[in-house]
């Protein structure tokens, strides 16, 4: 029901079959090259542990060097597109 409601407003949804934390982290890592920034929010320490373990082998540095992170206002102001993923 929630999945269909999110899809109606053009938000792509992935439903975790088993480990939701692993699905969230793997999704964030897989889409990271397409975006300047990827934000993973949650209240579970498992997300941080998985992000630390799984991203240690990835190099996300840009050719231009370290860019400044967007503010919360900038993130909220962005329009949602199908590329935006809500888990």
Closest CA to 38 of 60, 56, 19: 60
12 beta partners: 85
pTM over 0.85: no
pLDDT of residue 13: 84
pLDDT of residue 79: 43
pLDDT digits (tens, 9 = 90+) for 12-56: 888 888 888 998 899 888 888 898 888 888 888 888 889 888 886
**How far is it, in rounded angstroms, from Cα 46 to Cα 83?**
25
Which residues, 6 or more positions from 15, have their beta carbon under 8 angstroms from its beta carbon? 3
Cβ(69)–Cβ(37) below 8 Å: yes
What does the pLDDT read at residue 80? 47
What is the C-alpha separation between 55 and 76, in angstroms, rounded? 26
pLDDT at 87: 54
Mean pLDDT computed over 3-14: 88
Domain ranges of the chain: 15-52
Between 33 and 81, whose confidence is greater? 33
Q: Would you state the pLDDT for residue 74?
A: 55
């Amino acid at each position: 029901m929630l999945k269909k409601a999110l899809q109606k407003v053009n938000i792509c949804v992935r439903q975790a079959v088993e480990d939701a934390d692993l699905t969230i982290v793997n999704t964030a890592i897989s889409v990271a090259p397409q975006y300047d920034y990827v934000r993973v929010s949650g209240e579970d320490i498992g997300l941080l542990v998985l992000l630390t373990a799984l991203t240690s082998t990835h190099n996300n540095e840009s050719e231009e060097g370290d860019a400044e992170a967007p503010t919360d206002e900038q993130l909220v102001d962005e329009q949602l597109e199908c590329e935006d993923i809500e888990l």
